[in-house]
């Protein structure tokens, strides 16, 4: 089976049909959830404190939903318009940017407390044109250099990716280190064919380490029977999805009204205004107030 990044550029591969198919696939949802939770664990953020995070290659917002659940504020960038359209339809909380990460970022220095990326980094290792500025090395250099500047000191960036070869890993890590990052590769379940996952864990400064050591210790990968753990997580995710769906139904199986409070409505309206959506109703004392039944 050919890898997606070899078939077409991401903005073409993830067209309207593929974007919706990918997002609605329960297996993709479970995998995205698991890998995002693991990326957050490797970020080593201060517990109980919301962070401002960059979701690189956010797609339709599957990873962003996990960031929301953890109480973080996030900004997502993606090159596929169809993926971002699906994200808008799903009303994700994060701000979204249509952007080619291979051109680098234009954020102010020190904007973000951390960054995550799920299944994206390998796309930068393919050249779509013969121009020297479009080579994988040039794109990776712009990407890592500007990302390093966008992060606060003592922050981390965690990338889950699917490397094609050891040479590709060495190229990616070499460019990242040249851009100023420290860190290394974390491999979960290295002896499993199905559950084996690669995470590039990069540090800015001391990466939030309390030891203050010059060389930061890269986190250890997970060990054990990865296949059994992956299967258990998939079953648990499916069970939670069924439970959440049943919660939306009343005692007689009828769908219950999904009532939203005033704060939720005000937050959504403000989000729509920031995105330039037309026709957003004005706020008033009646916003979010339940109407009396008509007789």
Reported confidence tier of residue 291, pLDDT bands at 50, 70, 90: low
Sign of CA dihedral 23, 25, 28, 33: positive
In angstroms, the CA 123 to CA 184 distance is 19
Residue-level pLDDT at 83? 97
84-142 pLDDT, tens per residue?
999 999 989 999 999 999 999 999 999 999 999 999 999 999 877 778 888 999 999 99
> What is the pTM assigned to this prediction?
0.79
Lowest mean pLDDT among 54-58, 86-90, 222-226: 222-226
């Amino acid at each position: 089976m050919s890898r997606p990044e070899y078939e077409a550029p991401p903005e073409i591969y993830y067209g309207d049909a593929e974007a919706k198919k990918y997002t609605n696939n329960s297996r993709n949802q479970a995998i995205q959830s698991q890998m995002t939770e693991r990326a957050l664990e490797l970020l080593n953020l201060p517990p109980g404190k919301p962070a401002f995070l960059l979701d690189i290659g956010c797609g339709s917002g599957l990873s962003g939903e996990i960031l929301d659940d953890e109480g973080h504020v996030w900004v997502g960038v993606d090159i596929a318009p169809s993926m971002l359209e699906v994200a808008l339809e799903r009303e994700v909380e994060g701000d979204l940017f249509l952007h080619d990460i291979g051109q680098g970022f234009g954020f102010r220095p020190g904007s973000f407390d951390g960054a995550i990326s799920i299944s994206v980094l390998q796309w930068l290792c393919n050249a779509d044109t013969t121009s020297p500025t479009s080579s994988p090395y040039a794109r990776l250099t712009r990407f890592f250099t500007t990302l390093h500047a966008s992060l606060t000191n003592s922050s981390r960036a965690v990338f889950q990716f699917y490397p094609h070869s050891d040479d590709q890993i060495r190229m990616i890590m070499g460019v990242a280190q040249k851009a100023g990052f420290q860190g290394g590769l974390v491999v979960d379940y290295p002896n499993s064919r199905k559950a084996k996952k690669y995470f590039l864990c990069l540090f800015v400064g001391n990466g939030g380490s309390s030891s203050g050591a010059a060389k930061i210790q890269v986190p250890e990968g997970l060990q054990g029977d990865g296949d059994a753990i992956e299967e258990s997580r998939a079953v648990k995710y499916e069970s939670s999805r069924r439970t959440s769906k049943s919660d939306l139904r009343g005692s007689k199986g009828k769908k219950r009204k999904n009532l939203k409070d005033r704060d939720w409505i005000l937050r959504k309206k403000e989000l729509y205004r920031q995105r330039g959506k037309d026709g957003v109703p004005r706020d008033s004392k009646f916003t979010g107030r339940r109407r009396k039944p008509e007789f």
